Copies of this chain bind each other. A is one copy, B any other.
């Protein structure tokens, strides 16, 4: 950490700051420039960061030198994390397709869609049993009943299940029914939930909050990793900008940045990002072309009748065609789907 002094800081100001820093157990290194004097603090930056040095008399600004995340950083672990669930590997050479309806509506619906997406090439089935809805008047999901229906898909169709947890009290239940526990964008900073998920070893798919910086996303992953659970998948799902044409603005640049800064696999959810099915294809193509490790795509056999987010669901036929096109791009990337 570096403390920049104001041009009118007095020697007394400086002495007091240095004294305090030493009192806290750190070393200092002074450098007098032409227009400013700076104090370099030597020691564990994560500890010194908690101190409000910027309000000390004579301080102009405080500049951190290190990234605040550690366990999830590429610096900490150079090799990319690979997560194996059954015979599927996330973070490996294969780009994993996760598909299914926004919400679980009935066993019949879910089984029909599951067969279709499996046949098209999906390895993971997605479907919400608990739904975070902006309005209390919207369909809130089937709850535990929905989880049981997903379990049928797992057993009968042989797909891996990813589904969203909304309540810290449901962790035990999700360990039983889900293969990957999804934390939604609105819960990315529900720290108590993250802490609980850190104590288990079930893979967690952590969605970026819609107004979260990547650093904040990494810090939330760090909460889980600090608890001991290293099976974390990061998911870009669009950010909130001034742009109102789409529900959210997909931030594809997050994909190569996540790969540079962390060792975690990165997937992309075009459906929730866009809020409309019609750009799901080009955005999925783009995501594969910039290195994504997986895609979460909403598929519904009858979007017009969907209880939730029908507008963003692909029909099975279109989904199959998309997968065919994605395979070609994957090949250019020397990867497979």
Interface residue ranges, A against B (CB under 8 Å): 2, 4, 7, 20, 29, 31, 33-36, 38, 40-46, 49-52, 54-56, 63, 65-66, 68, 75, 132-139, 166-169, 186-187, 189-192, 195, 209-211, 213-216, 219, 222-223, 226, 239-246, 249-253, 255-257, 260, 274, 276-279, 282-283, 285-291, 303-304, 306-311, 325, 328-329, 331-332
Sampled A-B contacts (26; CB under 8 Å): A20-B304, A29-B31, A29-B33, A33-B41, A35-B66, A38-B40, A63-B63, A134-B219, A166-B191, A166-B192, A167-B168, A186-B189, A186-B191, A211-B242, A213-B242, A214-B245, A239-B242, A241-B249, A243-B251, A246-B253, A246-B257, A249-B253, A282-B291, A283-B290, A285-B289, A331-B332
Inter-chain CA distance A234–B285, complex, in Å, is: 21
CB <8 Å contact, B168 and A222:
no
CB <8 Å contact, A306 and B253:
no
CB <8 Å contact, B55 and A304:
yes
CB <8 Å contact, B134 and A189:
yes
Inter-chain CA distance A86–B192, complex, in Å, is: 32
> Which residue of B29, B209, B241, B291 contacts A239 across the interface (Cβ within 8 Å)?
B241
CB <8 Å contact, A244 and B213:
yes
Inter-chain CA distance A54–B246, complex, in Å, is: 13
Instruction: Tell me which residues across on chain B come within 8 A of A187, comparing CB atoms.
Output: 190
Inter-chain CA distance A328–B288, complex, in Å, is: 13
Inter-chain CA distance A78–B223, complex, in Å, is: 45
Contacts A36-B65, A249-B249; A213 near B243 (Cβ below 8 A): yes
Known: A34-B42, A55-B310, A169-B169. 11 other contacts (CB 8 A): A2-B38, A29-B33, A50-B139, A55-B304, A63-B63, A135-B222, A136-B223, A213-B243, A213-B245, A256-B283, A285-B289
Instruction: Tell me which residues across on chain B come within 8 A of A189, comparing CB atoms.
Output: 132, 134, 186
Copies of this chain, count? 4
Most-contacted residue by chain B among A33, A226, A287, A309 (CB, 10 A) = A33
Inter-chain CA distance A139–B219, complex, in Å, is: 14
CB <8 Å contact, A307 and B241:
no
CB <8 Å contact, B216 and A134:
yes
Chain B proximity of A37: nearest CB distance (Å): 10
CB <8 Å contact, B244 and A241:
no
Inter-chain CA distance A43–B35, complex, in Å, is: 8
> Which residue of B50, B75, B257 contacts A245 across the interface (Cβ within 8 Å)?
B257
CB <8 Å contact, A43 and B34:
yes
